[in-house]
Amino acid sequence: MAETLEDIAAHMVAKDKGILAADESTGTITKRFDAIGIESTADSRRDYREMLFRSDEAMRNYVSGVILYDETIRQSAADGTPLVDLIKATGAIPGIKVDTGAKPLAAQPGEKITEGLDGLRERLAEYHSLGARFAKWRAVIDIGPGRPSHTCISANAHALGRYAALCQEAGIVPIVEPEVMMDGPDADHDIDTTYDVTERALKTVFQELYFARVRLEGMVLKPNMIVPGSNSKVKATPSEVAEKTVRLLKNCVPTAVPGIAFLSGGQSNENATEHLCLINQLGPLPWAVTYSYGRALQSAALETWGGKPENVAAAQRALLHRARMNSLAAGGTWTADAEKQAA
List active site positions: 177, 222
Best CA proximity match to 71, nearest among 36, 99, 96: 96
Q: Is 148 helix (H, G, I), strand (E, B) or coil?
A: coil
Query: Are the C-beta atoms of 322 and 294 separated by less than 8 Å?
Result: no
Residue 108 has, within 13 A of its CA and on its CB side, a CA count of 22
Number of C-beta neighbours around residue 241 at 10 A: 22
Best CA proximity match to 271, nearest among 233, 223, 322: 322
Q: Is 342 helix (H, G, I), strand (E, B) or coil?
A: coil
Query: Are the C-beta atoms of 191 and 218 separated by less than 8 Å?
Result: no
Number of C-beta neighbours around residue 341 at 10 A: 10
Those residues whose C-beta lies under 8 Å from the C-beta of residue 211, and which sit 6 or more positions away, are 161
Best CA proximity match to 9, nearest among 223, 206, 281, 215: 215
Q: Is 253 helix (H, G, I), strand (E, B) or coil?
A: coil
Alpha-carbon distance of 242 to 256, in angstroms, equals 22
Positive or negative, the CA dihedral 56, 125, 288, 162 is positive
Q: List, as own/partner pairs, every contact residues 203-210 make where C-beta atoms lie below 8 angstroms and the sequence separation is at least 24, other chains included.
A: 203/252, 204/153, 204/154, 204/157, 205/157, 205/160, 205/161, 205/176, 205/178, 206/252, 206/253, 206/254, 207/157, 208/154, 208/157, 208/158, 208/160, 208/161, 209/160, 209/161, 209/164, 209/176
Q: Is 272 helix (H, G, I), strand (E, B) or coil?
A: helix
